[in-house]
Amino acid sequence: DPVLDLSYRKFKRLPSRVCELMHLEKLYVCGNRLRKVPDSFSQLQGLRTLALDFNKLEDVPLAVCELTSLTHLYLGSNRLMTLPPEFTNLKNLRCFWLESNYFQRFPRELYDLPNLKSLQMGDNRLKALPQDFCRMESLKGLWLYGNRFETFPKVLLRMESLEILDLDKNKITELPSLKRLRTLHLFSYDHNPVKEPPKVGEDVFLVGEGAAEFMEIREARKERRRKAAEEEAEELAATTPVSSLSTAHY
């Protein structure tokens, strides 16, 4: 079986035999007491998914940075503050969850991951995003809830591929228009001291203060437009003369 689940076993050390399972594609070691993994962990070159969340890691193990086939990596609920330079080796990473750690600055190592589409950094200690954050052109889902933002990071307005943006539980008091984010499907700003929803595209789902009322009004407006278009089409059909049918000659 290419999947191995060793979650919640109270391991302080990873069993050495695990590193001999070269066929593994998915490994779950969540909810243990790991502070590190052995160097031989790098032998698991077939791994696509690795979950090490809810452990006691203070640094990302360098052996993990050698697993270049990884597409999904979960390191949430550890004690991480930085990423090592070697993290940039993970060029195939598509989904990275790093929530509930101790990051005060955004890790720029993520800029060098061209396939990263989903980034979960909720419940950290971020106050701002770097101005060149927009280099992450492939990013589609971004979770930044529970951080320490006091203003909306304007660099996000240049993230033209974003589909999901979550800024819940921050201290943001004002939101800019998000209409330029044409691919946005969901924006969540709940539990921020904002007074009204932002301006967004017609199909964006909002979660936050005043969002439900805003969307009800928007849907009612769209329904009125739809009915008006139907009535106009019916009137046009009623006033258009029926063309005479030509007689076929044999």
CATH number at residue 185: 3.80.10.10
Please list the rounded mean pLDDT of every run of 10 residues in the chain (250 residues): 95 94 97 96 97 98 98 98 98 98 98 97 98 96 98 96 98 96 96 94 92 86 75 76 50
Identify whether the C-beta of residue 25 lies closer than 8 Å to the C-beta of residue 4. no
Among residues 10, 87, 92, the alpha carbon closest in space to that of 55 is found at 10
245 belongs to a structural domain: no
**Cα separation, 90 vs 49, whole angstroms:** 12
244 belongs to a structural domain: no
User: Can you give the residue range of the structural domain that contains 186?
Assistant: 3-232
Q: What is the pLDDT of residue 125?
A: 98
222 belongs to a structural domain: yes
How many whole angstroms from its chain centre is CA 224?
Answer: 34
What's the total number of domains in the chain? 1
On the 0-12 / 13-18 / 19+ scale of CB atoms within 10 A, 141 is: middle
241 belongs to a structural domain: no
249 belongs to a structural domain: no
250 belongs to a structural domain: no
What's the length of the chain? 250
19 belongs to a structural domain: yes
70 belongs to a structural domain: yes
Phi-psi domain of 142 (left: phi exceeds 0; alpha: psi -120 through 50; beta: other) = beta
Q: What is the pLDDT of residue 243?
A: 57
pTM of structure? 0.88
Identify whether the C-beta of residue 80 lies closer than 8 Å to the C-beta of residue 60. yes
